[in-house]
Structure 1
């Protein structure tokens, strides 16, 4: 069985991170400017309690998935929350445990900070990912609204 390793992003991962994040954005039919790519990459390595963090999944040593997550305060609890903002696995490795390994790694990072609430969103049409999410998490029933 292939070995999945999940580790924090490293500066040397830039090209693979960009490839994976671009594929994720393409899946959601969106694009970002080079300025936002550069800013996001920089933020992933900045010190700070509320800066985003990034993890890379490797399958047999090859980068095949990524996640971005961040911690934020809550008015409902003393502990912070952890928002798993982006999660992506290359299409040819889906169903091999990459997504589950990334989610587990975020949960572990949150637990190290004493955070128990890890949450995320996905589009209702993302049936492949939702099969995984329905297996590893509970659906809350909340509906997202964005101000125009």
Structure 2
């Protein structure tokens, strides 16, 4: 039973969306997913892709995925790789799937000349935090994520 990691294709969109919904349920936000197959397909495979995804499978059965995109650091003067989502199915956890996905993306970052590979993790998700620490990740204790959505985003965009 060999684990394979491969770039997602348009045919994988339903599987990716299913895994995104599983991730949202795990992260205690099952109703937060607004993505549809159409929006996800456009984001990953449209004229101007916003992100990329890879799937991990064993004997053809999906066991996890990672969705990522490039950001940019003015401090390094180089682009970085940002991991938006990493998810491993419950039955595959502990079998090296998450580590394989992270290692694969680290290789992508190196191949593309990225200065950083980073992501966010929920503060309550101790198993993930411990896993990332074992993989060599450094928790950026002084940084917090800021977000503006919905009506607040509309108000922020209004001229003053």
The alignment's TM-score, normalised by the length of structure 1, stands at 0.87
The equivalent of 1:42 in structure 2 is 42
Q: 1:74 to 1:47 in 2, by over 3 A?
A: farther
Could you tell me how far apart the structure 2 residues matched to 1:39 and 1:32 are? 12
Could you tell me how far apart the structure 1 residues matched to 2:76 and 2:100 are? 27
Q: Secondary structure at the match of 2:73?
A: coil
Q: CA deviation at 1:27?
A: 1.4
The equivalent of 1:98 in structure 2 is 97
Q: CA deviation at 1:147?
A: 4.6
Q: Secondary structure at the match of 1:114?
A: coil
Higher relative contact order, structure no. (Cα contacts within 8 Å, ≥ 6 residues apart): 1
Structure 1 runs (4+) greater than 3 angstroms displaced: none
**Which 10-residue stretch deviates more, 85-94 or 15-24?**
15-24
Q: 1:67 to 1:34 in 2, by over 3 A?
A: closer
The equivalent of 1:68 in structure 2 is 67
Unpaired segments of 5 or more residues in structure 2? Answer: 149-160
Matched residues, number = 145
The equivalent of 2:5 in structure 1 is 6
Q: Secondary structure at the match of 2:38?
A: helix
The equivalent of 2:151 in structure 1 is none
C-alpha RMSD of the superposition:
1.9
The equivalent of 2:158 in structure 1 is none
Could you tell me how far apart the structure 1 residues matched to 2:12 and 2:108 are? 20
- Answer yes or no: is the 8 Å Cα contact 1:20–1:64 preserved in 2: no
**Which 10-residue stretch deviates more, 127-136 or 92-101?**
127-136
The alignment's TM-score, normalised by the length of structure 2, stands at 0.81
